Structure 1
């Protein structure tokens, strides 16, 4: 009788050990799977995506725009064209506004990322409120001398309303043009600090 109980207890212990081994194997597999998924998510979400020309990082590869991060903000260069007001609304929908050029260093940075010599990009400067009084989208006045390729002249041939909005070209050239033209845009979006 003792021998039967001992054999039965031995079988129960072996059965319990096998169940525990299976449970530990499943937990180890799930742990490795979760670790692999987290590693994949880290590299997909946090590494800049290099575009086809292998030099311009695009931080949102599923968007057509090109995103560049610099000095606490993102600069978003569109590939589609819109008029100045629609461009501004698009930038605001992204959480920013048309770019405000604060200094020569920023202007050179932006001009460097402008594509072709024939590409024009809206910036956040206009004299639509009062002709000749240039204001940024945050209502601060223009206080620097810039290189105007198309100097402010309110030319009315293209549009009887005149030219009240500013474009940026390659080589830091600016142009005073009709706000109704369809051009690309540069949005400026502040980076949010994680709390």
Structure 2
């Protein structure tokens, strides 16, 4: 009986040490995971800032080529120009891409998002809806966007732009597709 008690105490001590080691390793793992995620965020920001200018005047970044127009066109003509270059209006797929694009503009630009087919159902030029992408950067600092304002154009605001005329470049705004703006084309490479 004494021997069994001693064996039980030894086993208990060994299991307790292993448990404490497991708890410590789990804490260290969670700390490392948090540091990894922070570093990954920093690197993604750094990558977005260090994209390279390609030979044909497009900006290469994370598997995409971007062309920032110098001309101002309506949304449909902007898209036509992009398509003629083997690209399309930009589709924003992440916070880091949004941040990168915002860092490159000083005036409002058309993006590849509209609700031309069905009012309130915003669809990217690649046919993905905002519901599918789960990503939205609509302006919320005043009258919330999209607001489908009809004063300038009775058909409403059916096309989206990055930024507005007041310098709010980090947000999306709906506007009349007939308005002329600069635009951003994108092509995957």
Q: Normalized against structure 2, the TM-score is what?
A: 0.64
TM-superposition CA deviations, 1:134-172 (whole Å, max 9, x none): 100011011223142661111111101110000102642
RMSD: 2.0
Q: Is the 8 A contact 1:78 1:185 kept in 2?
A: yes
Question: Which of the residues 160, 171, 174 maps onto 1:173?
Answer: 171
* Cα separation, 1, equivalents of 2:51 and 2:137: 26
Q: Which runs of 5+ in 1 are unaligned?
A: 1-54
Provide the aligned length of Structure 1 versus Structure 2: 130
Higher RCO (C-alpha under 8 Å, 6+ residues apart)? 2
- How much has 1:56 moved relative to structure 2? 8.9
**Alignment correspondent of 1:59:** 54
State the SS of the aligned residue for 1:187. strand
**Alignment correspondent of 1:123:** 111
**Alignment correspondent of 1:152:** 146
- How much has 1:57 moved relative to structure 2? 5.8
Q: Please say which structure displays the higher CA radius of gyration.
A: 1
Name segments (4+ residues, structure 1) moved above 2 Å.
Answer: 55-61
Q: Is the 8 A contact 1:108 1:171 kept in 2?
A: no
The structure with more strand, counted as a fraction of residues: 1
**Alignment correspondent of 2:95:** 104
**Alignment correspondent of 1:133:** 121
**Alignment correspondent of 1:87:** 78
Q: Normalized against structure 1, the TM-score is what?
A: 0.62
